Amino acid sequence: MKLLLPDSTTAKKPVQKPARKKTIYITFDDGPNKGTSSVLRVVQEEQMPVSFFVVGEHVYGSKWQQQQWDSLQQCPYAEIYNHSYTHAQHNRFAVFYKSDSTVVADFKRCQDSLQLTTTIARTPGRNIWRTLMITATDIAQSKTAADSLYAKGFTIVGWDAEWFYTGDSLKLKQSGEEMFQQIDSMLTHQKTKTPGHIVLLTHDQSFADSVDAAQLQRFMRLVKEKSEYGVEFVSRYPGLKQ
């Protein structure tokens, strides 16, 4: 009879540590709107944690948007954060960011009306960061408004990379493959705010079309195939004020 004894040469080898995880945070802005339901379908199929920065008044825009909002809240793979109530008074960015009190009130209105459970926020039209570790403002004129938001308890998360779409036709500019390559390159060359962590900005409406939704699915599958990558909710990003 052959005894199955552990091989002493391999048994003594130290256990190889898994490669250090790199973390991707996939974020969707401006919902609930056209595109939210197809994003949710892909997210459910891939069982991938994603983050939605929603606009307060979009929830109340129509009965249909309220239904999208209900679906978002019920999705176990989605976390929901604040992207202001009026989206900078309907994209009037320069005027909006001039008034600290207007900006704070708009974010508070979104927070209160949607009863959001975290203080994580993203400023419309501005790549601003205010965390315990990062302070960054892309356009200097918005600095005091961002400081006021942070002082009032919000923590602001911008983005490292953007999945662009054309404004008129809402078509994606990069394929899922191209977006994955860009993320991979930025992480490798440490071109992100926090090394080993990357925040990707996308918009619900750019995935309304089934061809574009398939690109999102392709991107998520490429991420899954690479074992050194993990995907997390934005609330897990290092150094957020809780």
Q: Does 31 bind Zn ion (CB under 5 A)?
A: no
Q: How many other C-beta atoms can be found within 10 angstroms of the C-beta atom of residue 121?
A: 25
Contacting residue, 25, 27, 28, 30, with Zn ion by CB under 5 A: 30
Closest CB to Zn ion among residues 163, 180: 163
- Environment class of 206 (CB within 10 Å of its CB; exposed 0-12, middle 13-18, buried 19+): buried
For the CB of residue 158, give the shortest distance to Zn ion in the complex, in Å: 12
| Cα 122 from Cα 159, distance rounded (Å) | 9
C-alpha–C-alpha distance, residues 33 and 53, integer Å: 12
- State phi, psi for 2 to the nearest 5 degrees: -95, 120
Site for Zn ion in 139-198 (CB under 5 A): none
Residues 33-72 vs Zn ion: string with x where CB under 5 A?
A: ----------------------------------------
Which x/- pattern, by CB under 5 A, does the window 86-125 give for Zn ion? --------------------------------------x-
> CB-wise, 56 or 124, nearer to Zn ion?
124
Of 186, 159, 162, nearest to 173 by C-alpha is 162
Q: Which of 6, 8, 22 is nearest to 200 (CA)?
A: 22
Binding mask 119-138 for Zn ion (x = CB under 5 A): -----x--------------
Which residues partner with 25 through β-bridges? Answer: 199
Pick one of 29, 46, 162, 212: the residue that binds Zn ion (CB under 5 A).
Answer: 29
Other beta carbons less than 10 A from residue 170's beta carbon? 16
Sites of contact with Zn ion (CB under 5 A): 29-30, 124
